[in-house]
Amino acid sequence: MKSFKQVSVLQKFLLWKTKHLSEQQFTLILSAIIGFTAGLGAVAIKNLTHFMQELLEGEFIVNYHHAFYFIFPVIGLAIVYFIIKYLIRKPLGHGIPSTLYAISKKKGIMERFQMYASLITAPITVGFGGSVGLEGPTVATGASLGSNISRMFRMNQSMRTLLIGCAAAGAMSSIFKAPIAAIIFAIEVFSLDLTLVSMLPLLTASVSAILTSYFFFGSDTIIPFVLEDDFTISQVPFYVVLGCISALGSIYFTSVYFKVQKLFLSIKNSFLRLILAGLGLGIILYFIPPLYGEGYGVINSLLAENYQEALQTNFFDAFLDNIWVVIILLAGLVVFKIFATSLTFAAGGVGGIFAPVLFMGSALGHCFALLVNHLGFLNKPISVGSFTMVGMAGLMAGVLHAPLTAIFLIAELTGGYALFVPLMITALISYLITHAFQPHSVYTMELAQRGELLTHDKDKTILTLLEIRKVIEKNFQVLTENMTLGDIVKEGVVKSSRNIFPVVDEDYNFKGIILLDNIRTIMFDQKMYEKVKVYDLMQNAPDVIDLKDSRMQTIMNKFQKTDAWNLPVVKDGKYIGFISKSKLLTAYRQKLIEVTV
């Protein structure tokens, strides 16, 4: 009875909404609610993480903390492993890639457990030292809220996707207090169309989230930085070089990330994978403590040029007055951060790569500036702080393939646009070089390889969203190889309204086709009914669609290449049905109408 009342109330509200609110007004209201909830999610994840870090670094173990760098991550990852296995009981993918997959292959539908799963597991992962960020889980939490709220109010697929983008914008706006960059992030990463219809909800969600963040966190920002040095035209060559180095760092980041993932995924036992990757992470963190956790404290210490705080180690503290030791240690942070991040993910940790990218970018930019200043060929040193910030933008543009997000995020974090030109130079160069070698970002590479990635290319997006099984036609009369012409007429021509007949063997393996035109001249000659067999008349199909391997883009290319109107579909060699060009184009038009905002 209670369930009936709830449905009844919802139905009454939907009727009221239809009478009193336009679709745009209701979307703006939902986007404000989603922005608020995404902001709350960001607040909850951040506070839970800080609570765990303070608990672990409390007075009772503060004097032994370095020794615990080795064991903390393994404990945290083990807790996450048991929570996922015995409480959630469903695989929990990485935040933003899993959200992109839901948009491209699940019509934007995300399961309810995703609303709270990352909220529990990400703080444990990072709080115990996992070398990942909280942005991805925050976005995934908000996106799941947006998806389920849109389902509750029976929004269509295009609105559902837009509200997921609103949740992503809200999460980023709340975390970084950068509302413009958050909107651009949603557009760049989630391939939303930049129209007035989409812009207003994104803006509403971003504002709602940042107000929530101001309410809970005040005016404090995650990277407080005051720009002191002005940009001069003489620095352009150095920003160009930094862009090239950032591209190399981006390619290195992505390559190592996927190689480490592939290596550990070859270990089928997930608990053994946890132990090996967790111990590897523990060893790295013991020798390089700055890689512990998100790393924003290290970034802020670098911006303050406080190397004693930023580069705390077990072995080199006494040598941090030597600038060349500092440069070498910074280079070490760049090299090993991605290993620490990859091992955290390989062990089953829940987090994101946004913070590791910013960490590596800051260390890279800072290291580059120190190196240039201490080589001794400049009359006036370049700004170390500026290059640290621009280095973050360079790596973000390359790794995430989001140059506009990188530019506006760092511009907003620096409190103005004085660095806008160097940000544009470095981000553009880094993105162009990285894109030439790696066409897809860390977020999208696996989806792109499977043909499941949505892009700003509308044609490719529609083809990706189409479901192959829904365009397969099965109203064809199937013939076997040993049938006679008489059987073809009685079992095929008489019973079918189609002019094409698939031929299979006894095990239903597809062998070829017979066209009505092939038998038209002899089909009324009864003398031939017992003499002519199916295998005498059948021919190869122009091409075959394999259900396991083919993507919609590949299928469309096959139609264009063969000029055929019907192509057979097989799975493991067995006949399934046909796809017709006309049905495919009709489905394309319908999907275009559905997803156009």
Summarised one tens digit per residue, pLDDT across range 49-108 is 888 887 776 654 555 555 666 788 888 899 999 998 888 888 776 777 777 777 766 777
Residue-level pLDDT at 7: 55
Task: Report whether pLDDT(514) > 70.
Answer: yes
Provide the residue type at 66 as one letter. Answer: H
Q: Model confidence over 217-271: pLDDT tens digits?
A: 777 778 888 777 778 888 899 999 999 999 999 999 999 999 998 899 889 888 8
Match 């169309």 to its residue by tokens. 193
Give the count of beta carbons closer than 10 Å to the beta carbon of residue 572.
9
Single out the residue of 571, 152, 597, 227 nearest to residue 387, CA to CA.
227
CB of 281 within 8 A of CB of 347?
A: yes
Single out the residue of 422, 420, 418 nearest to residue 242, CA to CA.
422
Tell me the percentage of the chain whose pLDDT exceeds 70.
Answer: 87
The residue-averaged pLDDT of 535-563 equals 80
The three-point CA angle 78-79-81 to 5° equals 60
- Both tokens of residue 40? 């709350």
Tell me the angle at which helices 117-127 and 135-152 cross, rounded to the nearest 10 degrees.
170
When mean pLDDT is compared across 35-44, 380-389, 495-504, 516-525, the lowest value belongs to 516-525
User: Domain 2-217 in CATH: superfamily?
Assistant: Clc chloride channel (1.10.3080.10)
Rounded to two decimals, what is the model's pTM?
A: 0.77
Same fold, 2-217 and 461-595: no
Task: Report whether pLDDT(440) > 90.
Answer: no
Task: Report whether pLDDT(566) > 80.
Answer: yes
The residue-averaged pLDDT of 298-307 equals 89
Residue, of 510 and 491, whose pLDDT is higher: 510
Q: Model confidence over 391-428: pLDDT tens digits?
A: 999 999 999 988 999 999 998 887 767 888 999 999 99
d(CA 529, CA 525): 7
Q: Which residues, 6+ apart, have CB-to-CB distance to 383 below 8 Å?
A: 228, 229, 369
Which parts of 453-533 fold into alpha helices (H)? 458-465, 485-487, 516-519
Residue-level pLDDT at 319: 72
The residue-averaged pLDDT of 373-392 equals 88
Residue-level pLDDT at 521: 75
- Both tokens of residue 404? 């506009």
Q: Where are the domains of the chain?
A: 2-217, 233-456, 461-595
Task: Report whether pLDDT(318) > 70.
Answer: no
When mean pLDDT is compared across 4-18, 127-141, 218-232, 443-457, the lowest value belongs to 443-457
Mean pLDDT over the full length of the chain: 82
d(CA 169, CA 187): 9
Residue-level pLDDT at 369: 94
Query: Where are any strands of DSSP class E within 384-455?
Result: none
Single out the residue of 379, 293, 306, 299 nearest to residue 344, CA to CA.
293
Task: Report whether pLDDT(457) > 60.
Answer: no
Task: Report whether pLDDT(456) > 50.
Answer: no
Q: Which long-range contacts (CB under 8 A, 24 or more apart) does 372-379 make?
A: 372/238, 374/323, 374/324, 374/327
Give the count of beta carbons closer than 10 Å to the beta carbon of residue 157.
17
d(CA 250, CA 258): 13
The residue-averaged pLDDT of 471-478 equals 84
Name the pLDDT band for 435 (thresholds 50, 70, 90).
very high
In degrees and rounded to multiples of 5, residue 174 shows phi and psi of -70, -40
Write the burial class of residue 408 (CB in 10 Å: 0-12 exposed, 13-18 middle, 19+ buried).
buried
User: Domain 461-595 in CATH: superfamily?
Assistant: CBS-domain (3.10.580.10)
Residue-level pLDDT at 67: 62
Write out the DSSP string of 56-113: HTSTTTGGGHHHHTTTHHHHHHHHHHHIIIIII-S----HHHHHHHHHHHSTT---GG
Residue-level pLDDT at 541: 87
Residue-level pLDDT at 224: 82
d(CA 346, CA 282): 13
CATH number of 233-456: 1.10.3080.10
- Both tokens of residue 283? 């060893």
Radius of gyration of the chain (CA): 29
Name the pLDDT band for 597 (thresholds 50, 70, 90).
very low
Residue-level pLDDT at 4: 46
